[in-house]
């Protein structure tokens, strides 16, 4: 009865996979030797066509790259077979799913309950998915429309969109983008080349960043990062500036420089070509016979050292000529042409002006200190500044510069530049030096200022001060009221002019009143002050004179006062009865017993009758006089 129908030993009938053909009457017969028995059973097979439950037109959205699960539950008798029709026409059923020969089918799983599972949905999976349920009685279907949701790329704001760096290093430009599906990163270079993968000099990272190795000047320009997916694209422009410094030879030479040099025959000659730059330059020497030597080079007689120094051993006369040092990097090229002369004689350094010097300059002026020197080989010039600093032509200072002939140039001189400068010259055969004293001129200024009107007593000595300072030391002159000018330290009549500028006027009179002008002058300019002077003077006046008459006895003494005031101080004199004169100035001589005190009092001792008479007192100065008369009667 085939594999579908089975009769068990106990008489039970089993029908597997029932179909409508199995409907009808079934007769069970039980028989033995004694007899048999019958049992009639009627089997009705219930049939139901396939039907999909919850059938409706469904729309589902699935994010790009996510998994998709679509249910398709069906009922029916016999049990329906489920198959799925995909957007590209592929039919998925249990048979196809089990067939590993189809590469695409492996991404799909069809469960027994009819659910379709799709792994990592892409844009090609978008469309209509149709579920078919079918049995012997009928067929049903349901369509599900799948929309794959995408996000257009968006480049995250980088930390820097303008980059500036030195040539020779590495640089990384950030470009991280988000989006669904994951954007693909490409770079548009300044050369308009498009790259999406790494190469020798360009490294494209997983996150989209671009690294440029060994950056050159030619790498300057705009770099465009492009993030693209099926939903669109986004761009960011980055500006890269590569700052390459052309080489500098020996710390000072740029572009093309011609240098004169010499070498002694049979000696060893070194020519420096130390090049600096960014990136570090390559150094090459071109020989007079047009032979190119790249550093380093080691020959039997000629060596180019790693630092660029060119060495000639056992110099020959034929070595005279032009030796060219070329320093080259991405920033440019610098050339130094050395015109080498081979000589036979060495000469020690000699100054063209061997004498020490004293130089005067002024504040703010450019000052030149000469140090011209000859010798073979050309001597190296070294300056020793007043503060002890050594200065050569290889150094750079903001206000100091050394010329090619050894001249020291000082820009914007100030008072701190004053002092002793030593210039030294050295070569292989000798050393010399000289001293230059630099004075920075300072305009004179007068330290003593008059405090208003100066008053002096007639006849006294007048001191007028005019102390000054400046560099160099100022010359002081005085102009006196009479128009006379004293221009140097001197003694001239009543005037004395000292070296410090003080003027002395002896025995002043009213003719010495007026304005005294002091001038202090040097190369920097002049300063002056005016000193007004007044001379105080008045004629004599006797304030305490003798009485008009005196009567006294013989042998007694008498005091005759004659006290006077006046400027200048009056001279007091007495005229005696015999017409002789006694004076406080020492004019005349005392006679007999007369004595004249300095203040003008006349003392007569041991009077006699001969002393009787008229006594006259006179007070005099150059402005006038005053007098008194007294009569003495001796009885």
For the chain, domains (ranges, CATH) are: 5-45 (no CATH), 49-149 (2.60.40.10), 151-243 (2.60.40.10), 245-342 (2.60.40.10), 347-439 (2.60.40.10), 447-536 (2.60.40.10), 539-634 (2.60.40.10)
| C-alpha dihedral (580, 584, 586, 592), degrees to nearest 10 | 40
Counting residues of the chain whose pLDDT is more than 90, the rounded percentage is 36
pLDDT band for position 588 (50/70/90)? very low
Higher pLDDT, 478 or 584: 478
- pLDDT value at residue 304: 94
Rounded to whole angstroms, the Cα distance separating 584 from 562 reads: 11
Beta strands in 493-609 (DSSP E): 495-497, 503-505, 514-522, 525-536, 538-544, 549-552, 558-560, 563-567, 571-575, 581-583, 594-596, 602-604
- pLDDT value at residue 466: 93
- pLDDT value at residue 103: 45
Owner of token pair 């660029």: 308
pLDDT beyond 80 at 167: no
Rounded to whole angstroms, the Cα distance separating 245 from 277 reads: 5
pLDDT beyond 90 at 463: yes
The answer to whether the CB of 279 falls within 8 A of the CB of 166 is: yes
Which H/E stretch holds residue 98?
Answer: helix 94-98
Average pLDDT on 481-493 reads 89
Burial level of 167, CB count in 10 A (0-12/13-18/19+)? Answer: buried
- pLDDT value at residue 57: 67
Which of 156-160, 217-221, 429-433, 583-587 has the least mean pLDDT?
Answer: 583-587
pLDDT beyond 50 at 556: yes
Mean pLDDT of the chain, nearest integer: 87
Q: What is the pTM of this model?
A: 0.38
Dump pLDDT digits (tens) for 327-344: 988 777 899 999 998 887
Q: What are phi and psi of 428, to 5 degrees?
A: -65, -20
pLDDT band for position 294 (50/70/90)? very high
Is the omega angle on the peptide bond into residue 181 within 30 degrees of 0, that is, cis? yes
- pLDDT value at residue 422: 95
- pLDDT value at residue 590: 54
Burial level of 390, CB count in 10 A (0-12/13-18/19+)? Answer: exposed
For residue 413, count other CB atoms closer than 10 A to its CB.
19
pLDDT band for position 122 (50/70/90)? confident
Contacting residues for 215 by C-beta, under 8 A, at least 6 apart: 165, 167, 168, 169, 170, 171, 242
The answer to whether the CB of 115 falls within 8 A of the CB of 97 is: no
The answer to whether the CB of 537 falls within 8 A of the CB of 590 is: no
**Among the listed residues 540, 542, 578, the one whose alpha carbon sits nearest the alpha carbon of residue 560:** 542
- pLDDT value at residue 558: 92
Average pLDDT on 42-69 reads 82
Average pLDDT on 546-563 reads 92
- pLDDT value at residue 186: 92
Average pLDDT on 50-73 reads 83
């Amino acid at each position: 009865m085939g594999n579908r129908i089975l009769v068990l030993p106990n008489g039970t009938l089993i029908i597997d996979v029932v179909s409508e053909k199995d409907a009808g009457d079934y007769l069970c017969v039980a028989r033995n030797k004694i007899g048999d028995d019958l049992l009639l059973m009627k089997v009705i097979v219930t049939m139901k066509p396939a039907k999909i439950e919850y059938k409706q037109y469904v729309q589902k959205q699935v994010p790009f790259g996510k998994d998709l699960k679509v249910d398709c539950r069906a009922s029916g008798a016999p049990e329906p077979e489920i198959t799925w029709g995909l957007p590209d026409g592929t039919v998925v059923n249990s048979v196809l799913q089990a067939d590993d020969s189809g590469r695409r089918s492996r991404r799909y799983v069809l469960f027994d309950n009819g659910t379709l599972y799709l792994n990592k949905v892409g844009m090609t999976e978008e469309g209509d998915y149709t579920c078919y349920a079918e049995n012997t009685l009928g067929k049903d279907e349901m369509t599900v429309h799948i929309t794959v949701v995408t996000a257009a790329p968006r480049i995250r704001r980088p930390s820097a969109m303008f980059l500036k760096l030195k040539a020779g290093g590495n640089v990384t430009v950030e470009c991280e983008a988000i989006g669904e599906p994951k954007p693909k990163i490409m770079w548009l270079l300044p050369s308009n080349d498009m790259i999406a993968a790494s190469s020798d000099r360009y490294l494209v990272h997983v996150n989209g960043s671009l690294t440029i190795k060994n950056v050159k000047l030619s790498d300057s320009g705009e770099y465009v990062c492009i993030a693209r997916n099926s939903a669109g694209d986004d761009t960011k422009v980055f500006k890269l500036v590569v700052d390459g410094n052309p080489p500098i030879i020996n710390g000072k030479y740029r572009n093309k420089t011609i240098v004169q040099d010499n070498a002694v025959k049979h000696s060893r000659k070194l020519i420096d070509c130390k090049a600096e730059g960014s990136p570090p330059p390559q150094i090459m020497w071109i020989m007079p016979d047009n032979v190119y030597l790249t550093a380093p080079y080691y020959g039997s007689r000629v060596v180019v050292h790693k630092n660029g120094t060119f060495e000639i051993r056992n110099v020959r006369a034929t070595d005279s000529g032009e030796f060219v040092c070329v320093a080259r990097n991405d920033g440019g090229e610098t050339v130094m042409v050395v015109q080498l002369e081979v000589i036979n004689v060495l000469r020690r350094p000699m100054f063209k002006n061997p004498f020490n010097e004293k130089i005067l300059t002024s504040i703010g002026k450019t000052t030149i200190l000469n140090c011209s020197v000859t010798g073979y080989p050309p001597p190296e010039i070294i300056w020793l500044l007043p503060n002890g600093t050594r200065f050569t032509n290889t150094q750079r200072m903001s206000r100091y510069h050394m010329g090619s002939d050894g001249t020291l140039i000082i820009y914007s001189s100030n008072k701190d530049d004053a002092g002793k400068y030593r210039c030294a010259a050295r070569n292989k055969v000798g050393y010399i030096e000289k001293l230059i004293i630099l004075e920075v001129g300072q305009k004179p200024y007068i330290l003593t200022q008059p405090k208003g009107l100066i008053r002096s007593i007639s006849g006294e000595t007048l001191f007028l001060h005019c102390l000054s300072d400046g560099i160099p030391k100022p010359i002081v002159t005085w102009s006196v009221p009479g128009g006379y000018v004293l221009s140097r330290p001197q003694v001239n009549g009543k005037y004395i002019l000292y070296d410090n500028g003080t003027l002395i006027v002896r025995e002043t009179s009213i003719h010495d009143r007026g304005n005294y002008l002091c001038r202090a002058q040097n190369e920097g300019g002049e300063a002056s002050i005016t000193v007004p002077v007044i001379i105080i003077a008045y004629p004599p006046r006797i304030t305490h004179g003798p009485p008009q008459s005196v009567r006294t006895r013989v042998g007694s003494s008498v005091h005759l006062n004659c006290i006077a005031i006046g400027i200048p101080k009056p001279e007091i004199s007495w005229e005696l009865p015999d017409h002789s004169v006694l004076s406080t100035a020492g004019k005349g001589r005392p006679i007999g017993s007369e004595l004249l005190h300095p203040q003008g009092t006349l003392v007569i001792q041991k009077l006699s009758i001969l002393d009787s008479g008229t006594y006259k007192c006179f007070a005099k100065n150059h402005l006038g006089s005053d007098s008194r008369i007294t009569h003495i009667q001796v009885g």
